[in-house]
Amino acid sequence: MAFDVEKIRADFPVLSCEVYGRPLAYLDSGATAQKPRAVIDKVDWLHRRMNANVHRGLHYMSETCTDEYEAAREAVRRFIGAGSTREIVFTSGATGSINLVAYSFGGRFVREGDNVITTEMEHHSNIVPWQMLCERKRAELRVLPFDDAGALETGRLDELIDSRTRIVCVTQASNVLGTRPDLRAVVDAAHRKGVPVLVDGCQGIVHGGVDVTALDCDFYAFSGHKLYGPTGIGVLYGKERWLERMPPFMGGGDMVATVSFAGTTYAELPLKFEAGTANFVGAIALGRAVEFLQEFDPAEIEAHETALLRRATERLSAIDGLRIYGTTEDKCAIVSFNVEGVHPYDMGMILDKLGIAVRTGQHCAEPVMDHYATTGMCRASFALYNTLGEADALADGVARAVRMLR
């Protein structure tokens, strides 16, 4: 399908809404993306016509849902370039995926005196689970810093990795700075010393995508709702050799082979990590979101989002006293900023009244705020359905707010 942003927008019903009598300019896709009609219709069909638990019935509806659920797993496998559906675990989201690894991998392989490496630019979901693990295990959490431009200092990894390092955890794209670290350098540095790598792909899978086989990461986590799918569903990719050695994260139905009071045996991958009633509606709809995205040329999406980023950056940079955080050359379509003398919450509230939805606050990345000695930022995050006109509206709105507040 040729890239036609107006045609794409017509596929997203919410984008035709008004806010306070003004057209909605939704610039908060980094928090959650809007849903195309194909995803909405799939969820509606499942609730209206095909609602039955998966893996647990021989009747038509259950078997149909099971087939759709496993087809979604296969769609995700192809989308991220994994070798087997045994390596694709459905979770509640990226947070659930990372916690699964921290608990299961960490419980099996991390010991007192070991260390785990994360980075200064991570979302809290790729910091706090590792802090909790290190507290339980009396291990050390080491932090790879970034510079003031927002570039991750990957050259310092060799200083941090030693014989007691058990895993390196890194984002594919910062949800605040837009920075896309050199993951090849991270993976190679870790693997040279036999250390596995977990990648938080929440933003990266949307802005550029991934081939986990080519990247050779050991774990990859992402959420469906940032990829134009529903909330409450996510994916953990894990190399089979790691998942086989890791104990289950939760116990219950569907993750077992046999159960008796003498002992329990566990299901084969990936079901070993999918305890309880699956969010089959979310998983199937995520599969539909993936199919929707595959209708477009990724290079055209990237070019469109780059144009949005450049327009917003150029227009915002012309405003007196405005600072953009994260200025690396290859950043994705995220712009976080502050204006001298203007509180980000005041800025966000005025933009909201103008119909412009941005995110304000710490963005679940308090160490990033600490790095820049600020308590919060405004963030505009773009998606394939945004327009250059919306980038202009953002800049015009910020300029108007500055005139009002300073």
Active site residues: 364
**DSSP assignment of 271-285:** GGG--SS--HHHHHH
Helices (H), ranges, 145-207? 157-160, 183-192
Whole-number Å distance between alpha carbons of 357 and 299: 26
Helix 298-317, helix 388-405: angle, nearest 10: 20
Q: How many helices (H) and strands (E) does the chain have?
A: 14, 17
Note the Cα 304 to chain centre separation in Å: 20
Backbone phi and psi for residue 99, each to the nearest 5 degrees, phi listed first: -65, -35
Whole-number Å distance between alpha carbons of 126 and 140: 15
Whole-number Å distance between alpha carbons of 82 and 80: 6
Look at residues 85, 76, 23 and name the one whose alpha carbon lies nearest to residue 282.
Answer: 76
Identify the residue whose tokens are 């405003």.
Answer: 319
Q: Hey, CA dihedral for 278, 284, 285, 290, is it positive or negative?
A: positive
Residue 263, classed as helix, strand or coil, is: strand
Backbone phi and psi for residue 270, each to the nearest 5 degrees, phi listed first: -90, 0
Residue type (1 letter), 245: R
Whole-number Å distance between alpha carbons of 144 and 154: 7
Whole-number Å distance between alpha carbons of 127 and 46: 36
**Cβ pair 331, 146 in contact under 8 A:** no
Note the Cα 326 to chain centre separation in Å: 18
C-alpha atoms less than 13 angstroms from C-alpha of 102 in its C-beta half-sphere: 28
Identify the residue whose tokens are 């949307």.
Answer: 206
Q: Cis omega before residue 270 (within 30°)?
A: yes
